[in-house]
Amino acid sequence: MPAVITANLPVFLIILPLIAAFILPTIARRQRLQENLLLVVGSLGLLGAGYLVYLVMHGGISSVYQMGGWPAPWGIELQVDNLASFFLLVVALIILPVFLYSRRNMAEEVGSREKVARFYVLILLLIGALAGMALTNDLFNVYVLVEVATISCVGLVSSRNHPLSAEAAFRYLILATFGSALILGGIGFIYIITGHLNMGFAAQELVQVWQYRPHVVWMALIFLLAGFGIKAALFPLHLWLPDAHSIAPTPASALLSGLAVKGYLICLFKFFYRVAVPFLLQELAIDKIMKWAGLLGIVLASLMAIRQDELKRRLAFSTVAQIGYLFLGASLMNTRGLSGTFFYLASHAVIKSALFLSAGMMISVTGKKKVSQLAGIGKKMPVTTAVFTIASLGLVGVPLFSGFVGKWYLLLGALDSGDFLSALVIIAGSVLCAAYLFPVVRLAYFEPAEIKEAQDPGIPQKLALVFLAVLVVLLGVMPGIVLELANRAALDLLTP
């Protein structure tokens, strides 16, 4: 590879989707060309993210990228570390199948063929913002990128051609903007007491000044937790999520549930572990709030998911429950817990996209939204149902599937910190998860068919689903490099 590309790879990964988002409207009428362009962007992104992971793991790239060559206190930095390359890899692994899935499949859900281009532009903007969130090392950049991601997420929800979509999107927009205002306030507090917007410099100052102004630091962290909590659907603040994620067009649901929510989480972890140190979180009892919100989220959101009859709504509530796992793991403050959190983040991203894409395919082919109406679909759409089954097994955490590895590490982390309640809830969450996903599988395979005509989707959609299912199994059988990256990222964050 030429040295220019290698040295500037992080920036290219942010710019690539943004440039594509700029080009797409100019070819709005040529759908075939658009979709090919998207596939090229997706493959280039995957190649780039894979190469970045390789470089980071072998120390082939400097961990700090200075934008425009300006040094740190004045210029803006990108932090090219294990966490960033890990999340970029996850993003790249999800977007390729999502692009494949939406190939010649979007016109019905979005309304008309002309609107498909706008939908793609929003997806690309979201991906650009997520890549930026993974890499950024600047407090105010986080705010701007979070806003870009939020507006494109709301745009994706409202792009569905459905009478209820505008209202769900409006509620999402109001709550998410409320969250942004809180995040901006938290950033303001940190800036006032440290005088820096660069995360590294702010952290150095914060360690010294927090004793003199503990209330300000506490306010800052609470504002950030509440703000990102709204956006990432932390349990009592999740009210917008079930409507928004179930009404969005299927590929958008997969992206929103699988990736967008995690982008905010990654930013929150950066604030909590890189700007504040774990010791500070424990001192100010932030970790207890995270832990209890996580525990309640796992149990209550799972119970709510069991009661939902609409398939996509059930999956949306399941997302709230799984976000509870991530907050719980982050609150454990030990290496195994945190690396389990990161691995679970990756595996949930893959699994939830597979679930949403296969469920969306069943719904759009049969026109039936409810679980009870989908009886016997396993015989009509074997591939789709098989992918749904594999992903369900993964989410429940059956060994040899990817969810198991994440949950296992979370469990070890909980036991490491002697927290038996959390360990119990982690296991109970798996049982509850089985209680809301396995009935779908049972109905699909072992009940007489009610649906007359239904068949598996076309080749691109099948490819996308199979790709995700293979990932679910692969991450479970050979977690190797992803687990290693998650471990290193956790170590980075916990050792200052």
Partner 1 sequence: MRILLEKLLINYPFFFAIILFVMGAFTVLTRSNLFKKLIGINIMEGGIFLFFVAAGNIKGGAVPILVDNPGVTYINPLTSALMLTGIVVSVSVTAFALALIVRIYKIYGTTDARRIAEMRKEVKERCQQS
Nearer to partner 1, 192 or 477 (CB): 192
Nearer to partner 1, 53 or 175 (CB): 175
Nearer to partner 1, 59 or 163 (CB): 163
Q: Which of 5, 40, 166, 491 binds partner 1 (CB under 8 A)?
A: 166
**Could you tell me which stretch among 61-69, 183-191, 252-260, 420-428 binds partner 1 (CB under 8 A)?**
183-191
Least Å from the CB of residue 369 to partner 1: 9
Least Å from the CB of residue 476 to partner 1: 39
Nearer to partner 1, 194 or 422 (CB): 194
3-state SS string over the chain?
CCHHHHHHHHHHHHHHHHHHHHHHHHHCCCHHHHHHHHHHHHHHHHHHHHHHHHHHHCCCCCCEEEHHHCCCCCCCEEECCHHHHHHHHHHHHHHHHHHHHHCCCCHHHHCCHHHHHHHHHHHHHHHHHHHHHHHECEHHHHHHHHHHHHHHHHHHHHCCCCCCHHHHHHHHHHHHHHHHHHHHHHHHHHHHHHCCCEHHHHHHHHHHHCCCCHHHHHHHHHHHHHHHHHHCCCHHHCCCHHHHHHHCCHHHHHHHHHHHHHHHHHHHHHHHHHHCCHHHHHHCCHHHHHHHHHHHHHHHHHHHHHHCCEHHHHHHHHHHHHHHHHHHHHHCCCHHHHHHHHHHHHHHHHHHHHHHHHHHHHHHHHCCCEHHHHCCHHHHCHHHHHHHHHHHHHHHCCCCCHHHHHHHHHHHHHHHCCCHHHHHHHHHHHHHHHHHHHHHHHHHHHCCCCCCCCCCCCHHHHHHHHHHHHHHHHHHHCCHHHHHHHHHHHHHHHCC
Nearer to partner 1, 103 or 196 (CB): 196
**Could you tell me which stretch among 54-62, 165-173, 269-277, 476-484 binds partner 1 (CB under 8 A)?**
165-173
According to the binding rule CB under 8 A, does residue 170 interact with partner 1?
yes
Q: Which of 63, 66, 177, 364 binds partner 1 (CB under 8 A)?
A: 177
Q: Which of 7, 167, 455, 477 binds partner 1 (CB under 8 A)?
A: 167
**Could you tell me which stretch among 112-120, 185-193, 433-441, 482-490 binds partner 1 (CB under 8 A)?**
185-193
Phi–psi pair at 417, nearest 5 degrees: -90, 15
Q: Which of 191, 218, 445, 467 binds partner 1 (CB under 8 A)?
A: 191
Site string for partner 1, 125-164 (x = CB under 8 A): ---------------x--xx--x---x--xx--x---xxx
Nearer to partner 1, 154 or 301 (CB): 154
Chain positions 197 to 216 lying near partner 1, rule: CB under 8 A, are 197
Q: Which of 12, 178, 201, 218 binds partner 1 (CB under 8 A)?
A: 178
Least Å from the CB of residue 24 to partner 1: 19
According to the binding rule CB under 8 A, does residue 181 interact with partner 1?
yes
Q: Which of 23, 27, 192, 449 binds partner 1 (CB under 8 A)?
A: 192
Spatial CA neighbour of 256 closest among 138, 145, 157: 157
**Could you tell me which stretch among 128-136, 172-180, 335-343, 423-431 binds partner 1 (CB under 8 A)?**
172-180
Size of the site for partner 1 (CB under 8 A): 27
Q: Which of 134, 169, 363, 464 binds partner 1 (CB under 8 A)?
A: 169
Binding site for partner 1 (CB under 8 A): 140, 143-144, 147, 151, 154-155, 158, 162-164, 166-167, 169-170, 173-174, 177-178, 180-181, 184-185, 188, 191-192, 197
